[in-house]
Chains A and B, each alone.
Chain A
Amino acid sequence: MLKWIQVLWPSFLIAAVAEAVFFTVIDPQELYLFGEPVDYSRIATYSIGFLGFWLVCAASSLSTIFLQRPAKEINRRT
């Protein structure tokens, strides 16, 4: 449980901040996806944007707790 929290929660907080800053500055309708203007609704773009930010932040948190594993845990043979 705690590992889930450690990966998903800080990334959620930072993703919320990133989302707010990014979409305050950038109108989703000004974005391009593979050279084509984004034609999703704004709600869809905001939502995908948020989930994207969350995913990237969670990947970072996941690498942090992966690299943080103590020697004991790595050396232990199962």
Chain B
Amino acid sequence: MSNTSPKPQGADADASAQDTLYASRRKLYVRAVSGIFDNWRWALVWITQLIFYGLPWLQWNDRQAVLLHLVERKFYIFGWVFWPQDVIFLALLLIISAYALFFFTAIAGRLWCGYACPQTVYTEIFMWIERKIEGDHVRRQKLDQAPMSGEKAARRGLKFLAWGLVALWTGFTFVAYFSPLEELLQAARTLSFGPWELFWILFYGGFTYLFAGVMREQVCKYMCPYARFQGVMFDPDTLVITYDEGRGEPRGARKKGIDPRSVNKGDCIDCGICVQVCPTGIDIRDGLQYECIGCAACIDACDQVMDRMNYPRGLIRYSTENAIKKHWGAKDILVHVLRPRTLIYGTILALLCAGFVWGLATREPLRVDVIRDRAALAREVEGGMIENVYSLQVMNMSEQARSFHFSVSGLPGVTVDGENLIEIGPAATQSVTLRVLVPYDSGKPGANPIEFEVRADDDPSLSLREETTFLFPR
């Protein structure tokens, strides 16, 4: 890679673009920051992680409240039990998430990335541990450059250990969403995990460690697909983290307490703290960049500097392209939140959510598949009756055992022979064999349409009709 020509052309330009991507990464020593947006981020860290680490411990109806039970192929989510047939709800949920992302991105940029993305949240936790053990950004850099010593080894070892424990706990929690927590705890006591459970705990934990401890901003820069297409949801009225160039430039150092205009300077004192606190290592003063994850650390940092200089806050702030250009205030920005793009995203999002809720509310906890017995098509039995045998796959999707009545209609004199009240266990599928009898003269030779009705014994409103055919001998 010794291409030193000043301006590569054509195919070479591509190659050199790749070369720069392969350039070894400059390790970032991110300076800690405090302020409103940092508090928001920590609030979100607490909320998301209390939910993530806590949910598997909740109980509901004497079982784990949230369990995506892969072995049983059933998803338990509080009062609901979802089956593979309910995949439409999962699909809807994914589409809702996508539209929520579009909606919030159109209004205020990368809110998700800056506050709620697991990559941000775990990086925040891992950096907090790093800071507690190795000190601030300056001491960390010194420690990196220092030759190996007892203290360095101890601090490093302690950091890796603390990271490892958080990562392992995260991996364990992740697996507890798919495999019952109780069984996992039992296995943990004797360290006798199933091979695959152990594999997934180490896999998820290992990647948490790698992404949050080692790779950090590279995940956002090189791996995140959203970072690549988020630009299409932006428009000139989207709130993004903006450096107010008109107010800040020309930047430069000056004595405290003097009016910057008197020395021909803007409000930016060029202290560089906004760059030091940036988790992706960019300079927000260069304008909006795809690397910016919208974490607002630079806003918090700059506001503190402005306070110290006795300048008004907001040299770096959430603003829109139009607001900066046209010198709008907060009210104008708010008015422009309502615009065709946000209204369309918002309407679609609201409709999808309504559909999801409606679907959940009207979801029948009963499903029936009728399968004709292929072995014995139609049989003449005593009393001048024709018999057909059916196998009904009945799914009781509710969490209590239920008895169901089976009846049949569609032909004169059609009846179900024998027992027609059958109990099916909670959240269970059962195959029910039914013999249906019809007087020989009440249908035509060949197939005749009939209809089964399955009705819950305890709740007459819960019923289902399923069509099938009754065969007469030719």
Contact surface of A with B, Cβ cutoff 8 Å: 1-3, 5, 9, 13, 24-25, 27, 41-44, 46-47, 70-73
Contacts and interface: CB of A to CB of B under 8 A. Distances in A.
A70 B194 contact: no
A36 B59 CA distance: 39
B199 interface: yes
A-B residue pairs, 10 tightest by C-beta? A70-B15, A47-B196, A43-B196, A42-B71, A24-B87, A9-B223, A72-B15, A44-B196, A5-B222, A2-B21
Interface string B11-29: 1101100100110010000
Nearest to A8: B223
Contact of B70 (A3, A46, A70, A73): A46
Interface residues of B, number: 25
Contacts of B63: none
A43 B193 CA distance: 13
A70 to B, nearest CB: 4
Contact of B73 (A13, A27, A41): A27
Interface of B: 11-12, 14-15, 18, 21-22, 25, 70-71, 73, 84, 87, 90, 179, 194-197, 199-200, 218, 222-223, 225
B200 A47 contact: yes
Given A2-B222, A24-B87, A72-B12, A43 B71 contact: yes
Contacts, number: 45
Contact of A42 (B22, B73, B197): B73
Contacts of B199: 47
A71 B14 CA distance: 11
B223 A43 contact: no
26 contacts: A1-B25, A1-B218, A3-B22, A5-B218, A5-B222, A9-B223, A13-B225, A24-B87, A24-B90, A27-B84, A41-B194, A42-B70, A42-B71, A42-B73, A43-B70, A43-B179, A43-B197, A44-B196, A47-B199, A47-B200, A70-B12, A70-B15, A70-B18, A71-B11, A72-B11, A72-B15
B94 to A, nearest CB: 10
Contact of A24 (B12, B18, B84, B200): B84
B182 to A, nearest CB: 16
Nearest to B21: A2
A49 to B, nearest CB: 11
A39 to B, nearest CB: 14
A73 B14 CA distance: 12
B15 A2 contact: no
Contacts of A43: 70-71, 179, 194, 196-197
Nearest to A6: B222
Nearest to B195: A44
Contacts of A70: 11-12, 14-15, 18
A73 B196 contact: no
Contacts of A42: 70-71, 73
A23 B225 CA distance: 24
